[in-house]
Structure 1
Amino acid sequence: MPLSNSVTQFLDKQQLEYQLTAPLDAPIWHDQQLRNNGAARATLLEDSNEKVLAIYPADSLLDLSAVNRLLGREMQAIAPAILDTLYEKHHLSSVPALPGLAGMRTVIEQSLYQRDPLFLDAGSREQMLDLSQISFKTLAKDAISGEISIPISKIEQPTQASDQDIILASVRQFTELRVKERLEETLELPPLPETAQRIIKLRVDPNADISDLANIVETDPNLAAQVVSWAASPYYSAPGKIKSIHDAIVRVLGFDMVLNLALGLALGRNLAMPKDGPFGVTPYWRQSVYMAAAMEGLVTAIPRENRPSFGMAYLSGLLFNFGYLVMSEVFPPYFHKLCRMMEANPHVDHTLAEKHLLGLTRDHIASWLMDLWNMPEEIVFALRYQNEPNCQGEHASYAKLLFVARRLLSQRGLQCGPKLDIPASVFEDLGLDPIKAETTIDNILECSVELENIANHMVPAA
């Protein structure tokens, strides 16, 4: 997308000299390009009185609380639907990081004044603005400046503490904020569902057969209906009508897949869907269905000698965002604040906002809970390290597959994270051809109608 006329007119009116970076020879995602160059990006905020432009480094997290302290207001990010209307009207792909644009009050991260030359998001996916500090300060003469962001590198710094120590430290922090005193009291979670307990026992029973699994699923009418509707979906092209759980297992899905599907659904239904949530993010079950399908497809794309277990990969995809549900129940006083922080920072992964506000991530808490529930080690590891592409260990392939699947889906518009590159080393570690991976995801998205129908059946009735 070329530079918008509204942007060039604004710059020309200011009589400022500027340059545009040359389009890159190789395609690169816009969020990634801005981050790699330490460019300035912008988030459009609002309250009931006005809209405010917040400008900060793309390699940083916008601290919404700091902005509100600076302004003495309660601002939050503008809804994506409104932004889309603005983009269409002004031929933009993002919010230009230009102080005073459209006459809006502007708040700027003060460290940007130390970057020279300074690259800015121009509202175009193809190019950035190259502006001198003199020109930027001229534009920002009426802006408010302060420490309104935190460098991503600072949040991502590794810790030597164990996951349990991280969780306990986070709870102690909340204790000081008058939340709860002990971890056991803080985790007011329902016990592991009876259906899930029976399925977990069945997993380790060498004599288990199709009838045993069918009997467990059939005792839960809602779960049985969901499994049958999954098997009956055109996505699996099953011949004839699916009449029973036994039929779904034998003719369509297979023992291993039904076992993992039933377990994932039982766990997902155990926690209530949060009434609040970051706007613009793909709903929980829709994400889960697409991720499960993506994991299934990516495993197939790996050479047979390197493939991890289909069942474990599928289940990890179905449960990859389980920590989101846990977060909403464990930290209800802070979940609202976390949602607003995520809305203001669509360019970074949710883990950064969670680390900044809570001291731990949904991956920490979900993995810890899965371990308490005696879930398979592969799932515990996959959920914990799914956002750490350099992780090592016996089960690292599951975590890395989740990383690849989520980024590929995000790059194609499924709102479960920013559009960022996938390091070549991750594909190499998995023995996965990047071209085959891309093709696999494209093929899955061609079945979006069928997948959407499956996801709709997963949503609990109101």
Structure 2
Amino acid sequence: MDNTAEDMKPNDPTPIAVRQYLSRQGVETRLITRKDARHPVVECVLLADSLGKVALLLPADRMLDLAALRQQTGRQLAAAPLAERQQLLRKHGLQELPALDGLCGVEALADQHLPTTGEVCIQSGLRGQLLQLPASALVADAATRQVDVTVAVPEIELDYELSLFEMDRDAIEQSVGRFTAKRIRQRLEETLEIPPLPATAQEIIRLRVDPSADISKLSALVERDPSLAAQVISWASSSYYAAPGSVKSVQDAIVRVLGYDLVMNLSLGLALGKTLQMPEDEPQGFAPYWQEAVYTAAVVAELHSAMPREARPSFGLAYLTGLLSNFGYLVLAHVFKPHFSTCCRLWEANPHLDPRVVEDHVLGINRDQIAASLLNSWSLPGEVCLGIRHASHTDYYGLHSDYANLVCLSTRLLRRAGLVAGPRVPLEPALFANLQLTPVAARAALTKVQDGQDSLDALARGMES
């Protein structure tokens, strides 16, 4: 094994419980960052039922199938409650759970697809740090049972053509037809049984393309919807924007604080977000819908400001793309109500995977496909539709890729900061290159949002009420 200066030393930052456990096993390790991982990564998921807790070791590129797990164990295992997981981590002085079967004193299971030879990487117990060690060190307890409870994660094939909305529509209709008894109708929103687009949203969409549109027309339109007007004024009054004096009207919000472009797109995003109700069953450990929407839009805005002026896309459309980036979550909950709970439990049990992987497995489509297709059918700008459709693709460089890349980078920054749920993965250099940003500028953008977190949380709570 390659022993370097990073090998286990007395001053090694690896949690002492992990160091002592591996020392007793006589295992040599190397502390690395995730971006330096050159070997298969193995994760540990903490599960529980009425009989107790179970630690499952599985490859990071595979998805835990709860139905298979329950069939093979005869137990009703699901992701352990967050409080129990945090209690176990605190007990052992850990931030993350390493994939070592005997570390935490709970029953362990090992997926049969684990590597058995060569080197692997596991969570070190420190957030953002991995341990490289021999695969043979993963399972040291003879009582650890081997199970076959994971499925492979399919490769994503990108489509750069605008025809992808038609292909997505076909996939959506097939999925709806497979999971429901509804008749497939001609219009997408009817197929999905989505409530009618609010009148205010329809008027804003028309105003967007009106060559005579101005501040007075936008103000009058927003003020006709008292709830929307109150939200826009609340947004402009937030300490996050540090507006001098009080904001007394929508026109005041436009002229003095937010600007025409932002209010136009903010109003549209707020109106669309109110189209669907929040789901009754939601996954534990996930940020509430509006909190994630507000955070993502805020980071997109800060990243946009950090880009060279000549490289910046439309600010208002970028902000709207961020604000609606998780709109598909609400659509999935509305259209696939009986199956949404299944997705929730699988999201909880597979925190190492992007939630869209679970959706593709359960439903055959994901939130980005269904949201982008629906928004496209509502005649929202192509920048927003494609930005959302490819928001999880780090290697998308097609039409309007700057919008998709801004949301993708924002989401990854928020995940790494623990502000929204999802795997903490390395930031792709290509994202920075495409947006003409530096990692330093991206971290500064995230820091500004973190500094204003209380104000953003207040805005999100206002949306939830």
TM-score norm. by structure 1 comes to 0.90
**Equivalent residue number for residue 57 of structure 2:** 55
User: Is the counterpart of residue 319 in structure 1 residue 328 in structure 2?
Assistant: no
User: Is the counterpart of residue 457 in structure 1 residue 462 in structure 2?
Assistant: yes
Tell me if structure 1 keeps the 8 A contact 2:53–2:106: yes
The 1-side partners of 2:368 and 2:261 are apart by 25
Q: Give per-residue Cα distances to partners, 1:93-150, cap 9 Å, x unaligned.
A: 21222224444332221121544344443434444262353x55542x3233232223
Task: Please give the residue correspondences for 1:168-179 in structure 2 after superposition, counting only pairs within 5 Å.
Answer: 168-169=170-171, 171-172=173-174, 175-176=177-178, 179=181
**Equivalent residue number for residue 146 of structure 2:** 145
Q: Give per-residue Cα distances to partners, 1:219-248, cap 9 Å, x unaligned.
A: 111111111111111222222221111211
Aligned length: 448
Question: Which of 225, 231, 236 in structure 2 is aligned with 1:231?
Answer: 236
**Equivalent residue number for residue 90 of structure 1:** 92
The 1-side partners of 2:156 and 2:145 are apart by 28
**Equivalent residue number for residue 131 of structure 1:** 134
Task: Please give the residue correspondences for 1:47-126 in structure 2 after superposition, counting only pairs within 5 Å.
Answer: 47-125=49-127, 126=129
Return closer, same or farther for 1:440/1:117 CA change in 2, 3 Å cut-off. closer
Question: Per-residue deviation at 1:421?
Answer: 1.4
User: Is the counterpart of residue 16 in structure 1 residue 25 in structure 2?
Assistant: yes
User: Is the counterpart of residue 2 in structure 1 residue 24 in structure 2?
Assistant: no
**Equivalent residue number for residue 156 of structure 1:** 156
SS in 1 for 2:25: coil
SS in 1 for 2:146: strand
SS in 2 for 1:85: helix
Tell me if structure 2 keeps the 8 A contact 1:186–1:330: no
Q: Give per-residue Cα distances to partners, 1:279-307, cap 9 Å, x unaligned.
A: 11111111111211211111111111111
Moved more, 218-227 or 434-443: 434-443
The 2-side partners of 1:157 and 1:148 are apart by 25
Question: Per-residue deviation at 1:74?
Answer: 2.2
SS in 1 for 2:151: strand
The 2-side partners of 1:289 and 1:178 are apart by 32
Question: Per-residue deviation at 1:88?
Answer: 1.8
SS in 1 for 2:114: helix
Supply the AA of the counterpart residue of 1:250: V
Q: Give per-residue Cα distances to partners, 1:25-68, cap 9 Å, x unaligned.
A: xxx35xx666x531321101011222111110122222222212
The 1-side partners of 2:148 and 2:65 are apart by 9
Supply the AA of the counterpart residue of 1:333: P
The 2-side partners of 1:96 and 1:369 are apart by 41
Root-mean-square deviation (Å): 2.4
Question: Which of 288, 292, 306 in structure 2 is aligned with 1:287?
Answer: 292
Return closer, same or farther for 1:157/1:239 CA change in 2, 3 Å cut-off. closer
The 2-side partners of 1:359 and 1:197 are apart by 30
The 2-side partners of 1:251 and 1:266 are apart by 22
Tell me if structure 2 keeps the 8 A contact 1:155–1:355: no
Return closer, same or farther for 1:287/1:127 CA change in 2, 3 Å cut-off. closer
Task: Please give the residue correspondences for 1:188-207 in structure 2 after superposition, counting only pairs within 5 Å.
Answer: 188-207=193-212
Gaps of 5+ in 2: 1-11
SS in 1 for 2:243: coil
Moved more, 398-407 or 430-439: 430-439
**Equivalent residue number for residue 8 of structure 2:** none
Tell me if structure 1 keeps the 8 A contact 2:168–2:373: no
Q: Percent identity?
A: 40
Supply the AA of the counterpart residue of 1:454: L
Question: Per-residue deviation at 1:278?
Answer: 1.3
Question: Per-residue deviation at 1:195?
Answer: 0.5
TM-score norm. by structure 2 comes to 0.89
Supply the AA of the counterpart residue of 1:91: G
**Equivalent residue number for residue 274 of structure 2:** 269
Task: Please give the residue correspondences for 1:222-371 in structure 2 after superposition, counting only pairs within 5 Å.
Answer: 222-371=227-376
The 2-side partners of 1:120 and 1:304 are apart by 41
Moved more, 69-78 or 216-225: 69-78
The 1-side partners of 2:258 and 2:176 are apart by 45
Question: Per-residue deviation at 1:171?
Answer: 4.5
The 1-side partners of 2:59 and 2:387 are apart by 31
The 1-side partners of 2:312 and 2:144 are apart by 55
SS in 2 for 1:389: coil
Moved more, 38-47 or 166-175: 166-175
Bigger share in helix: 1
Supply the AA of the counterpart residue of 1:46: A
Supply the AA of the counterpart residue of 2:96: S
The 2-side partners of 1:443 and 1:367 are apart by 29
SS in 2 for 1:19: coil
Tell me if structure 1 keeps the 8 A contact 2:416–2:424: yes
SS in 1 for 2:283: coil
Return closer, same or farther for 1:378/1:388 CA change in 2, 3 Å cut-off. same
